[in-house]
Amino acid sequence: MKLTTTLTTAAMLALLSTSFSAQAYDADWKRGRVYYRSVCTSCHVALPMGAINPSTKTKADWAAYMQADKHAKGKETVSKYVSKAYRASIKSANKAAEKFAETPDQELIDDIKAFLLKGAKDGDAPASCS
C-alpha cells in the first residue's frame, strides 16, 4: 500500500513538472536584438547619452537592471517601453514596434533580456548597437 502511494505521488509530480516545463517560454535573443536596436537604440541615439551597447555592462549588471525594471534613473520603467501600449504609440514611426505590436509584453522583455545577456561584456557574443 505504501509503495503504491509513493509511486502514485511520484507519477503525479512527474506529470506536474512536465506540464509546467511545457509552458515555459524559451526567449528569442534574435527578436530581442531587433527590438533593442530598432526601438531602444533609436531613442537613445537622439538623447545626449547616445546608444548603450549591450557590451557596456556584464551579464549580472543587465540581469539586475532588467529585474529592477527602472529606466531613466528610476523615473520610468523598462516595462513601459516594452508594453503593447508603448508599441502602439510609436508603431507608425517604428517598423519593429509595428512588427511586434501583438507580442505579449513578458515575451518581449524576456527576448530583450536574452539579447542583453548574450551581448554583454562577459556574454557569449559581446555586441554593439551597429
Q: List the chain domain ranges.
A: 28-119
Residue 123: the pLDDT is 92
Residue 46: the pLDDT is 77
What confidence tens digit (pLDDT) does each residue in 46-72 have?
A: 777 777 889 999 999 999 999 999 988
What does pTM read for this prediction? 0.76
Which residues does the chain have with pLDDT short of 70? Answer: 1-23, 128-130
CB 42 within 8 A of CB 94: yes
Nearest to 38 by CA among 109, 104, 116, 93: 93
Q: Name the grid cell of 106.
A: 513578458
Residue 79 to residue 112: CA distance in whole angstroms: 11
Residue 117 to residue 109: CA distance in whole angstroms: 12
